Amino acid sequence: MRRKIKNKHPLGPDPIFKSDKVSKLINYVMHAGRKETSRKVVYGSFDILKELAKTENPLEVFDNAIKNIAPVMEVRARRVGGANYQVPVEVRPDRRIALAYRWIIEAARAKKGVTMAQALAEELFAGSKNEGEAIKKRENMHKMAESNKAFAHFSW
């Protein structure tokens, strides 16, 4: 029997940019419940992003990066007759955004020798220009889905 669907708790907008997306990014960056620290990291990265992109509004660069990084297709394991197949399926909209945030933060944390704010800003800027580690991750996922297109008829 399936589990009951949980009601999603609506997240309020962040105090500076009045954006739900930025608030969600702050929560994704947060480590061990240190929300104020994650706010400083995200707002610091947006200040750096303003310098990098030479724009007044870093939210445009951020939205563009999320849109570019979010995957359209992914592969899911499906067992058919004793064999496991990687079946390409379309990614749900909420999962697309979650994967994009996760990949951006993963790539930023992997960078050594710079502050988290600097690494996050660089990754967001690269993502807005269709470059960077998070974009590579999306490309790999799309390649997997493309190469397993023959098993698309196993989708459920």
Strands (E), 14-142: 73-80, 83-90
In a domain, 13, yes or no: no
Predicted confidence band of residue 11 (pLDDT cuts 50, 70, 90): confident
In a domain, 97, yes or no: yes
Q: Residue 156 above 70 pLDDT?
A: no
78 or 19: which leads in pLDDT: 19
142 is a domain residue: yes
User: ∠31-97-61 over CA atoms, to 5°?
Assistant: 90
Find the mean pLDDT for residues 94-119.
Answer: 95
* Domain count along the chain: 1
pLDDT of 86: 83
Closest by CA position to 124, among listed 105, 111, 138, 137: 105
Say if 11 falls within a structural domain.
Answer: no
Q: What is the pLDDT of residues 123-141, one digit of tens each?
A: 999 999 999 999 999 999 9
- The per-residue pLDDT for range 54-101, each reduced to its tens digit, is 888 999 999 999 999 999 999 988 888 888 888 889 999 999 999 999
pLDDT of residue 1: 77
| CA dist., res. 115 & res. 113, Å (int) | 7
108 within domain boundaries:
yes
Residue 74 lies in a domain: yes
**Nearest CA-CA partner of 123 in 71, 66, 56:** 66
Looking up tokens 């710079």 gives 114
- Host domain of residue 127: 20-154
Q: Does residue 56 lie in a domain region?
A: yes
- Neighbouring CB atoms inside 10 A of 79's CB total 9
Looking up residue 58, the CATH number of its domain turns out to be 1.10.455.10
Establish how many alpha carbons lie within 13 A of residue 78's alpha carbon, considering only the half-sphere containing its beta carbon.
Answer: 16
15 belongs to a structural domain? no
Cα(118)–Cα(125) distance, integer angstroms: 11
